[in-house]
Amino acid sequence: MHVPDGFIGAPVSVAAGVVAAGAVAVSLRGARRELDERTAPLAGLVAAFIFAVQMLNFPVAAGTSGHLLGGALAAILVGPYTGVLCISVVLLMQGILFADGGLTALGVNITVMGVVTVVVAYALFRGLTGILPRTRRSATAAAFVAALVSVPAAACAFTLIYWIGGTTDIPIGNVLTAMVGVHVLIGVGEAVITALTVGAVIAVRPDLVHAARGLAAPLKLRVDGELIDAPVASGSSAAPAPAATRSTRGIRAAGLITALLLAGFVSYYASASPDGLEKVAADKGIDKKAEEHAAADSPLADYGVRNVTDARISGGLAGVIGVSATIVVGTGVFRVVRRRRADRNTGPADDSAHRAGGNV
């Protein structure tokens, strides 16, 4: 659903850019509460994983394909504020390096693919997990529903923006019907990918799934016909290490290898059919005033490496470069955000200590 340049007029594109910038600013502040020394690198990995999976277009109907938007996955794994930042980093890398998604439409894309999907999915996930049994299966099912709904919600958001500032005059009802129809199908694929990923992480490291922390019910024992919480043998050598002290190295390595394999190898077998927005745009005439991307001459444009003639190698190299660039930029951003949180938390104490030392 990457909106190219020329679909939306300049005034509305600017307005969407302001909305997106505001959302990113709010998310930078909110992410300080979500990130710590363990989750900051994981957030960069989530962004890279979403970049990789977005390269895997899957067929959804005759002549149409879809790909992961990723807002639901990011929100559930690392939190809504950090999730918006993850999608923003992915869209920025795609727009600058690969000419995917217009640069003048970056605000529209962040608003539609980042903010709307994250807000809808996170609210729905938390609502469902609040009423469902506190189990891994319930969390996985909630992730499925949240991701499923987030995609047509994004399609509705794009339609609204197009209705306000589209560059071609076509019946908006036709656009809405076509966009929602095809993106409901794409949402099924999004839901499957999101549920499988969230379920896998919860099975291995539930403490690393932001939206599912605390969902596991305590072990119960039946004593004299009543259920009570089982005692925790904190002094036992068999007791598991506290979540805050457990290393994330293994899951980070597994995630990075998976992302590199998906982008560098599996992406070659992705569907070549146009995605949902491209198909609707061609069928309904939305693309009549589409403009060439400003980065069309990029050596990585269209997810290939210039002057590499073998399509498999060219696409694989582009995918590996994209994953690497995304994880470097994303991890850098999240480490800075986390460091600012740490500085903010320790600054006053340090100042007090300094003043106390000066008064001795």
Which tens digits make up the pLDDT trace of 277-306?
A: 999 999 999 988 989 998 999 999 999 999
Query: Strand pairing partners for 222?
Result: 227
For position 244, what pLDDT does the model report?
A: 55
pLDDT at position 339 is 84
- Residue 271 has a pLDDT of 94
C-alpha neighbours within 13 Å on the C-beta side of residue 210: 24
Residue 38: its pLDDT value, please? 82
pLDDT of residue 240: 45
224, part of any domain: no
User: Could you tell me if residue 138 is inside a domain?
Assistant: yes
Average pLDDT of the segment spanning 144-149: 98
pLDDT tens, position by position, 105-130: 999 999 999 999 999 999 999 999 99
Closest to 117 in 3D by CA, of 125, 128, 106? 125
Please check whether residue 281 lies inside any domain of the structure. Answer: yes
Please check whether residue 5 lies inside any domain of the structure. no
Q: 226 phi and psi, to 5 degrees?
A: -120, 145
Answer yes or no: are the C-beta atoms of 154 and 133 closer than 8 Å: no
Say whether pLDDT at 227 is over 70.
Answer: no
* In the predicted structure, residue 355 carries a pLDDT above the cut 70: no
Band of pLDDT at residue 98, cut at 50, 70 and 90: very high
Q: Across residues 209-223, what is the average pLDDT?
A: 64
Residue 240 lies in a domain: no
Q: How confident is the model over 150-184, as pLDDT tens digits?
A: 999 999 999 999 999 999 988 999 999 999 999 99
Q: What angle do CA 334, 339, 340 make, to 5 degrees?
A: 100
312-352 pLDDT, tens digit per residue, is 999 999 999 999 999 999 999 999 998 876 666 665 545 44
Q: What is the pTM of this model?
A: 0.88
pLDDT of residue 338: 87
At residue 343, the pLDDT reads 66
Per-residue tokens: 342: 């740490």
CA–CA separation, 185 vs 202, rounded Å? 26
Copy the structure tokens of residue 123: 């609210």
| Number of domains the chain is built from | 1
Residue 296 lies in a domain: no
Mean pLDDT score of the chain, rounded to an integer? 88
The reply to whether 232 falls in a domain is no
Q: Nearest to residue 119, comparing CAs of 188, 73, 68, 72?
A: 72
CATH code for the domain of 81: 1.10.1760.20
Q: Residue 75 is part of which domain span? A: 10-216+249-289+319-342
The pLDDT assigned to 222 comes to 57
pLDDT at 353 over 50: no
Instruction: Write out pLDDT tens, residues 246-282.
Output: 788 889 999 999 999 999 999 999 999 999 999 999 9
In a domain, 64, yes or no: yes
